[in-house]
């Protein structure tokens, strides 16, 4: 059993896998988690399909599939947008490695219903860079000090 990359503690088959296979998301948060998993797994076609076409620009599935970024943690901080809503938002932090450098993407993503399904429109990134001290808890969520984990 392969755990879902979104951090839900469920298997991929029980969590984001069905959405990647075409099942519609029931909430903005569920779509956000499935998009994060798609970035981890390199599923560019799914990312394009789950992006509102008015906000996608010139990005292609091939571009979204090919990356040197290694995603390694997701924390959902707040979410709005249930099966009864037409708009939603998700604030999250996603940790990733580019080369040997660890970064954190902190974003407030916006979602809307488009043709009956949730899609991502855009987001606002937190301009403050992640500052982690050696003795601070590791941002990956391990519970260890940064210096003993990812630092």
**89-146 per-position pLDDT tens digit:** 999 999 998 888 888 899 999 999 999 999 999 998 874 545 667 777 766 666 777 7
Q: Do strands 117-125 and 87-98 pair parallel, antiparallel, or not at all (unpaired)?
A: unpaired
Burial of 26 (0-12, 13-18, 19+ CB in 10 A): middle
Q: Pick 120 or 66 by higher pLDDT.
A: 120
| Gap between the Cα atoms of 111 and 25, Å rounded | 11
Mean pLDDT, residues 73-89 taken together: 93
Q: How far is CA 146 from CA 5, 63, 71, 132, in A?
A: 21, 33, 17, 7
Q: What is the pLDDT of residues 8-64, one digit of tens each?
A: 999 999 999 999 999 999 999 999 999 999 999 999 999 999 999 999 988 889 988
Q: What is the pLDDT of residues 106-121, one digit of tens each?
A: 999 999 999 999 999 9
């Amino acid at each position: 059993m392969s755990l879902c990359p979104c951090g839900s503690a469920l298997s991929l088959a029980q969590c984001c896998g069905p959405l990647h296979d075409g099942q519609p998301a029931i909430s903005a948060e569920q779509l956000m988690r499935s998009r994060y998993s798609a970035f981890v797994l390199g599923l560019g076609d799914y990312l394009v399909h789950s992006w509102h076409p008015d906000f996608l620009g010139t990005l292609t599935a091939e571009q979204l599939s090919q990356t040197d970024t290694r995603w390694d943690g997701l924390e959902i901080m707040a979410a709005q947008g249930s099966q009864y809503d037409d708009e939603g938002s998700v604030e999250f932090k996603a940790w990733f490695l580019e080369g040997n450098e660890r970064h954190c993407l902190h974003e407030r993503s916006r979602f809307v219903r488009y043709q009956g399904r949730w899609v991502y429109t855009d987001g606002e990134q937190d301009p403050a860079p992640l500052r982690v001290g050696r003795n601070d808890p590791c941002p990956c969520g391990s519970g260890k000090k940064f210096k003993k984990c990812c630092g």
